[in-house]
Amino acid sequence: MKKDNLVTQQRVRMQAGRAEDGLGPTSDIGSRLRALYGAVQDEGVPNQLLDLLEKLDNAEQAQSQAAKSAPRDGE
Q: What is the pLDDT of residues 47-64, one digit of tens each?
A: 999 999 999 999 999 999
pLDDT grade for 17, boundaries at 50, 70 and 90? low
pTM of the complete model beyond 0.85: no
Mean pLDDT of 29-49: 91
CB atoms within 10 A of CB 41: 8
Comparing 16 with 54, the larger pLDDT belongs to 54
Number of structural domains, the chain? 1
Residue 57 lies in a domain: yes
Tell me the CA distances in angstroms from 50 to 1, 20, 42, 46, one per residue in order: 63, 46, 16, 7
52 lies in which domain range? 43-67
- Residue 14 inside a domain? The answer is no
CA dist., res. 55 & res. 62, Å (int): 11
Task: Please report whether residue 18 resides in a domain.
Answer: no
> Could you tell me if residue 4 is inside a domain?
no
Question: How much is the pLDDT for 9?
Answer: 67
Q: Is residue 62 part of a domain?
A: yes
Q: Does 26 fall in a domain?
A: no
